[in-house]
Amino acid sequence: MMRSVVFAVPFFFCAFTAGAQNSRVYSTLDTARAYAYYDSSWHYGMNSARHQLYLDSALMVMPTSAYFWQQKSMPLYKQGKWLLGRPFLDSAVKYDPHRWLDYRAFMTCIFERNYRDALADLYKVKVMPHNNTSVMDHPYNFYIGLCHLQLNDFDSSLYYFKDCVDEELKAHGEKWVHYNHLYYLGIAYYEKLDYTAALNCFERALKLYDKFCDAKYYKAICLYKTNRKQEAATVMEEAYANFKDGYGMNEDNAVYERYPYQLRKGAYAEAVEGFKKMAEKTN
């Protein structure tokens, strides 16, 4: 009985030096061999060395497969080892930019937190000749808005988040606006000290996702800033209760990386206590 052979190849080097053109056509036999290695990789944990070795074997057969390069990068990013995964992701983009450039922009924004490089990819992908307008469940403008927000360019972030919300309103109505788009639009207004506009956005987000503790946290602050201190204390307590019940930023990749302005436990506990004391002083 023959066994599959695993080639342990130092692909940290090959990721930069693969010289085949991405237009290379593989035989049916080579394609079948490569995908047999790929399928075998899933017999092992995604984060295991064996998984990576089987992917290396697939790439020995199909060195210009953008998908296999992306598959090598993804587990490393999810382990917080993006410095190791980035060369593999760059190879995926090299061999198929139409498929993977927007994905790299997402990974650069959310996992690497390298907002200037993410913006460069996002602006580039927006003018590429393809039909894509979104990545990982959100339009490109959402991630552009996040990048500008994290670079303290609040006017630009406001523009792009407002565009996301306006497009969804125009296409499907208020019920189809994504609550995270409203949340970050509210954050942009909050950073510009427009607490009334921010409060409106957080309340709209909460109508769509009523246990969104991060939105309640900033809603409470806006209530306090607009001199509604008793209500602010109540909302902050609700936010902490929702957080403890497991509600929060509802994004698939939030289990791996904290999204911008996503609150941690300490922030809620400290705020609840502080707001209680402020509310007591007003009685």
Q: Could you give the residue range(s) of every CATH 1.25.40.10 domain in the chain? A: 152-283
- As a whole number, mean pLDDT of residues 100-119 equals 98
User: Looking at the domain 152-283, which fold is it?
Assistant: 1.25.40
pLDDT at 23: 64
DSSP string, 133-188: -EETTEEHHHHHHHHHHHTT-HHHHHHHHHHHHHHHHHHH-GGGS-HHHHHHHHHH
Beta bridge partners of 134: 139
Residue with tokens 């990048």: 147
pLDDT at 24: 84
Q: Which tokens hold the place of 62?
A: 């199909």
How many whole angstroms separate alpha carbon 148 and alpha carbon 116? 9
How many whole angstroms separate alpha carbon 146 and alpha carbon 156? 10
**pLDDT category of residue 177 using cuts at 50, 70 and 90:** very high
pLDDT at 22: 59
Indicate if the pLDDT at residue 16 is higher than 80. no
Average pLDDT, the chain: 91
pLDDT at 269: 83
Q: Which tokens hold the place of 232?
A: 């602010």
With a pLDDT cut of 70, the percent of the chain lying above it is 91
- For residue range 70-82, list pLDDT tens digits in order: 999 999 999 999 9
Beta bridge partners of 135: 138
What predicted TM-score, i.e. pTM, was given to this entire model? 0.89
Cβ contact 34:58 at 8 Å: yes
**Three-state DSSP state, 4:** coil
How many whole angstroms separate alpha carbon 280 and alpha carbon 283? 5
- As a whole number, mean pLDDT of residues 91-106 equals 97
How many whole angstroms separate alpha carbon 76 and alpha carbon 165? 33
**pLDDT category of residue 129 using cuts at 50, 70 and 90:** confident
pLDDT at 282: 67
- For residue range 236-281, list pLDDT tens digits in order: 999 999 999 999 999 999 999 999 999 988 888 888 888 877 777 7
